[in-house]
A = this chain, B = another copy of it.
Amino acid sequence: MGDLILEEGETLRGCKLAYRTHGKLNAARDNAVLVTTWFSGTGKVMEDVYVGPGRALDPAKYFIVIVDQIGSGLSSSPHNTPGAQSMARFPRVRIGDDVQAQRRLLKDAFGITELALVFGGSMGGQQVYEWAVRYPDQVKRAAVVAATARNTFHDFMFTETLIEALTSDPHWNKGWYERGEDVRDGLNRMAGIFAVMGWSTEFYEKKRWQSLLGMSSERDFINGVMRAYFAPMDANNLLCMAWKWQRGDVSRHTAGDLAKALGRITARCCVMPISHDMFFPPRDCEAEQRLIPRSAFRVIEAVEGHMALNGFDPAYTAQVDKHLRELLDFPA
């Protein structure tokens, strides 16, 4: 999509956005749905877990565009950018940059200037909030799972522990490793921290790693799920996203006034925290929801905590679908 001037000042040259679409844009161009992606995920998991015939996001009804966030590995990222902005030289990217890029993509590629819905979870939810605050006239509905509009300091510190897990690995070498897998100690440490914060105490107590994920033991789960999940990832990509995640904050547009920023939202919103989420707890999400004029607060019950987002449990996706339908069926 050409150059993207970033909030931090640098220009991301020859910016590429990876996206996938489902369904067809209607003549009125009013059935477009944007789906965003989270930390460590790509559009693939969003497609698999949230989109399909008979689902709330049904390609028979909506034109669904899933866009990978910058740094996620498919869109422009440290590991796939050549030359002067490669690896450790990749510029700092903010949530707002993703939203700018997505907006340009939707307009240039499809002529879309209004979205029936923007939907995302976790860092994807940060992008949804940014959209709704910044372009209220272009977003008719917004739905967020397990995210906040302004990242909390607690969450900032959590992300900091993930960053330190990677950067403390000598093989990371300030971003100049030969191969991604060289940073395996750091990635393993990150997987360990995510094992603590990504699920919940109840998930382990109920042995959901067995009943839900089919692992034979806790150790089997740590190695076969948590470590295996992060092992193929690129450290610089993760660090790019982590830095962005830490600084997600819609009140940047209102000089730090969160109530004012969220008060700007005209979209109908559905705020869906996950009951057992350890870093985006329902309490934090509810405090924000109260500041959004036309919004509903719907807690998703899932002992999987934050990781429930991955849709392992049909009971989770059924809840999300129900709330999305409620939002979509109601005239915006």
Contact = CB atoms under 8 A, between A and B. Distances in A.
Contacts of A154: 196, 199-201, 203-205
Interface in A265-292: 278-279, 281, 283-284, 287
Interface stretch (A82-90, A163-171, A244-252): A163-171
A310 interface: no
Copies of this protein chain in the complex: 2
A79 interface: no
8 contacts: A152-B201, A154-B199, A154-B201, A157-B195, A170-B170, A201-B281, A205-B283, A205-B284
Contacts of A155: 201
A137 interface: no
A328 interface: no
A161 interface: yes
A265 to B, nearest CB: 21
A257 interface: no
Interface residues of A, number: 35
Contacts of A205: 152, 154, 283-284, 287
A157 B222 contact: yes
Contacts of A283: 201-202, 205
Interface in A119-150: none
Contacts of A202: 283
Contacts of A201: 152, 154-155, 279, 281, 283-284
B218 A153 contact: yes
A158 interface: yes
